[in-house]
Amino acid sequence: MEYLPEIEQVVPTLDYKVYVYMDDNTVRLYDAAPLIQRGGIFKKLQDKTFFMERCTIMNDTLAWDLSGRLDPEDCIDICPDTIRECEIVEDIEALEKELFAVEA
Mean pLDDT of the chain: 92
Task: Give the mean pLDDT of 12-38.
Answer: 96
Is the CB of residue 57 less than 8 Å from the CB of residue 64? no
Integer Cα distance of 17 and 28 in angstroms: 10
Nearest to 15 by CA among 39, 31, 35: 31
* pLDDT computed for residue 99 by the predictor: 77
Task: Give the mean pLDDT of 1-16.
Answer: 92
Q: Could you tell me the residue ranges of all domains in the chain?
A: 7-93
Q: What is the pLDDT of residues 54-101, one digit of tens each?
A: 999 999 999 999 999 999 999 999 999 999 999 999 988 888 888 777
* pLDDT computed for residue 102 by the predictor: 55
Residues 6+ apart with CB under 8 A from 58: 65, 70, 72, 75, 77
* pLDDT computed for residue 104 by the predictor: 43
Tell me what percent of the residues of the chain surpass a pLDDT of 70.
97
